[in-house]
Amino acid sequence: MSLFHVLGFGVKIGHLFWMLCCWFVSWFVDNGIEDKSGLLVGSVGDLEKTKMTTLKKKNKMWFWNKISSSGLKIPSFSYQFLGSVKFNKAWWRKLVVVWVVFWVLVSIWTFWYFSSQAMEKRKETLASMCDERARMLQDQFNVSMNHVQAMSILISTFHHGKIPSAIDQRTFSEYTDRTSFERPLTSGVAYAMRVLHSEREEFERQQGWTIRKMYSLEQNPVHKDDYDLEALEPSPVQEEYAPVIFAQDTVSHVVSLDMLSGKEDRENVLRARSSGKGVLTAPFPLIKTNRLGVILTFAVYKRDLPSNATPKERIEATNGYLGGVFDIESLVENLLQQLASKQTILVNVYDITNHSQPISMYGTNVSADGLERVSPLIFGDPLRKHEMRCRFKQKPPWPVLSMVTSFGILVIALLVAHIIHATVSRIHKVEEDCDKMKQLKKKAEAADVAKSQFLATVSHEIRTPMNGVLGMLHMLMDTELDVTQQDYVRTAQASGKALVSLINEVLDQAKIESGKLELEEVRFDLRGILDDVLSLFSSKSQQKGVELAVYISDRVPDMLIGDPGRFRQILTNLMGNSIKFTEKGHIFVTVHLVDELFESIDGETASSPESTLSGLPVADRQRSWENFKAFSSNGHRSFEPSPPDINLIVSVEDTGVGIPVEAQSRIFTPFMQVGPSISRTHGGTGIGLSISKCLVGLMKGEIGFSSTPKVGSTFTFTAVFSNGMQPAERKNDNNQPIFSEFRGMKAVVVDHRPARAKVSWYHFQRLGIRVEVVPRVEQALHYLKIGTTTVNMILIEQEIWNREADDFIKKLQKDPLFLSPKLILLANSVESSISEALCTGIDPPIVIVKPLRASMLAATLQRGLGIGIREPPQHKGPPALILRNLLLGRKILIVDDNNVNLRVAAGALKKYGADVVCAESGIKAISLLKPPHEFDACFMDIQMPEMDGFEATRRIRDMEEEMNKRIKNGEALIVENGNKTSWHLPVLAMTADVIQATHEECLKCGMDGYVSKPFEAEQLYREVSRFFNSPSDTES
Amino acid sequence: MDTLIAQLQRRFCDFTISLYHQGFLDDQFTELKKLQDECSPDFVAEVVTLFFEDCEKLISNMARALDQTGNVDFKLVGSSVHQLKGSSSSVGAKRVKGLCVTLKECCDSQNYEGCVRCLQQVDIEYKTLKAKLQDLFNLEQQIVQAGGRIPQVDI
| Between A455 and A683, residue with greater pLDDT | A455
Q: How many independent structural domains does chain B possess?
A: 1
**pLDDT per residue of chain B (155 residues) written in tens, 0 to 9:** 677 888 888 888 888 888 888 888 888 888 788 777 777 778 888 888 888 888 888 888 888 888 877 777 888 888 888 888 888 888 888 888 888 888 888 888 888 888 888 888 888 888 888 898 888 888 888 888 887 777 777 66
**Residue A66 identity:** K
pLDDT digits (tens, 9 = 90+) for A524-568: 888 888 888 888 888 788 888 888 888 888 888 888 888 888 888
pLDDT digits (tens, 9 = 90+) for A432-443: 999 999 999 999
Residue A111 has pLDDT above 50, yes or no: yes
- The values of phi and psi at residue A555, to 5°, are -80, -10
Cα–Cα distance measured from residue A407 to residue A23, given in angstroms and rounded to the nearest whole number: 27
**What's residue A101's pLDDT?**
92
**Residue B154 maps to a domain:** no
| Between A857 and A992, residue with greater pLDDT | A857
- Interval A687-702 mean pLDDT: 85
Range of the domain at B69: 2-146
For a pLDDT cut of 90, what percent of chain A falls above it? Answer: 3
Q: Does B6 touch chain A (CB under 8 A)?
A: no
Cα–Cα distance measured from residue B91 to residue B28, given in angstroms and rounded to the nearest whole number: 6
Q: Does B47 touch chain A (CB under 8 A)?
A: yes
Optimal mutation site among B25, B28, B90, B129, interface A, most CBs of chain A within 10 A: B90
Q: Does B131 touch chain A (CB under 8 A)?
A: no
Among A468, A475, A899, whose Cβ lies nearest the Cβ of B50? A899
pLDDT digits (tens, 9 = 90+) for A333-359: 777 777 766 667 778 888 887 777 777
Lowest mean pLDDT among A27-41, A171-185, B89-103: A27-41
A135-391 is a CATH 3.30.450.350 domain: yes
**What's residue A868's pLDDT?**
47
- Interval A88-93 mean pLDDT: 77
**What's residue A443's pLDDT?**
93
**Residue B155 maps to a domain:** no
Terminal CA-CA length for chain A: 94
**Residue B51 maps to a domain:** yes
Class (C level, CATH) for A518-731? alpha beta
Among A897, A900, A905, whose Cβ lies nearest the Cβ of B91? A900
**Residue B151 maps to a domain:** no
The segment with the largest mean pLDDT, out of A214-218, A859-863, A868-872, B135-139, is B135-139
Nearest to A568 by CA among A531, A601, A604: A531
Among A475, A898, A907, whose Cβ lies nearest the Cβ of B86? A898
Residue A400 has pLDDT above 90, yes or no: no
ipTM greater than 0.90: no
**What's residue A220's pLDDT?**
44
- Interval A460-465 mean pLDDT: 78
Domain ranges of chain A: 14-86, 135-391, 400-498, 518-731, 737-870, 879-1035
**What's residue A230's pLDDT?**
55
- Interval A765-794 mean pLDDT: 76
The answer to whether the A135-391 and A737-870 domains have the same CATH topology is no
Q: Does B16 touch chain A (CB under 8 A)?
A: no
pLDDT digits (tens, 9 = 90+) for A675-686: 656 555 555 667
Nearest to A639 by CA among A629, A648, A649: A629
Q: Are strands A746-750 and A770-774 parallel, antiparallel or unpaired?
A: parallel
Cα–Cα distance measured from residue A809 to residue B55, given in angstroms and rounded to the nearest whole number: 80
Which chain B residues contact residue A904 at CB under 8 A?
32, 35, 47, 90-91
- Interval A923-938 mean pLDDT: 82
**Residue B127 maps to a domain:** yes
CB atoms within 10 A of CB A889: 11
Contact B79 A908 (CB under 8 A): no
**What's residue A442's pLDDT?**
93
Give the B window 70-89 contacts with A, CB below 8 Å. 79, 82-83, 86-89
DSSP helix/strand/coil, A894: strand
Residue A1036 has pLDDT above 60, yes or no: no
**What's residue A573's pLDDT?**
86
Crossing angle of helices B43-67 and A899-911, rounded to 10°? 160
Tell me the average pLDDT of chain A. Answer: 74
Residues with Cβ within 8 Å of A357's Cβ and at least 6 positions away in sequence, in order, are none
pLDDT digits (tens, 9 = 90+) for A491-523: 888 888 878 877 777 777 777 776 777 787 888
DSSP helix/strand/coil, A131: helix
pLDDT digits (tens, 9 = 90+) for A955-1002: 888 888 888 888 777 765 554 445 556 778 888 888 766 555 456 677
Contact A904 B54 (CB under 8 A): no
**What's residue A225's pLDDT?**
43
- pLDDT tier for residue A1033 given thresholds of 50, 70 and 90: very low
pLDDT digits (tens, 9 = 90+) for A377-392: 887 777 778 888 888 8
**What's residue A923's pLDDT?**
85
DSSP helix/strand/coil, A73: coil
**What's residue A984's pLDDT?**
80
Class (C level, CATH) for A737-870? alpha beta
Is the preceding peptide bond at A75 cis, omega within 30 degrees of 0?
no
Residue A592's DSSP bridge partners are A649
CA distances to A217, A249, A869, A1025 from A1002, in Å: 140, 141, 46, 18
- Interval A852-868 mean pLDDT: 72
Cα–Cα distance measured from residue A815 to residue A1011, given in angstroms and rounded to the nearest whole number: 66
pLDDT digits (tens, 9 = 90+) for A615-662: 777 777 777 777 776 665 444 444 444 557 888 889 888 888 888 888
Q: Are strands A712-723 and A746-750 parallel, antiparallel or unpaired?
A: unpaired
Q: Does B31 touch chain A (CB under 8 A)?
A: yes
**Residue B79 maps to a domain:** yes
List the CATH number of the domain containing B40: 1.20.120.160
Crossing angle of helices A777-786 and A798-814, rounded to 10°? 40
Optimal mutation site among A479, A896, A904, A1011, interface B, most CBs of chain B within 10 A: A904
**What's residue A72's pLDDT?**
41
**What's residue A353's pLDDT?**
78
The segment with the largest mean pLDDT, out of A64-68, A214-218, A971-975, B59-63, is B59-63
pLDDT digits (tens, 9 = 90+) for A468-483: 888 788 888 878 888 8
Residue contacts between A and B (CB atoms, under 8 Å): 60
The segment with the largest mean pLDDT, out of A101-115, A716-730, A860-874, is A101-115
Q: Are strands A712-723 and A703-708 parallel, antiparallel or unpaired?
A: antiparallel
Residue A735 has pLDDT above 60, yes or no: no
| Between A193 and A734, residue with greater pLDDT | A193
Contact A903 B86 (CB under 8 A): no
Residue A49 has pLDDT above 80, yes or no: no
Optimal mutation site among B35, B39, B97, B129, interface A, most CBs of chain A within 10 A: B35
Separation in Å, CA of A67 to nearest CA in chain B: 54
The torsion angle over the Cα atoms of residues B74, B76, B77 and B83, rounded to 10 degrees, is: 140
CATH number for region A879-1035: 3.40.50.2300
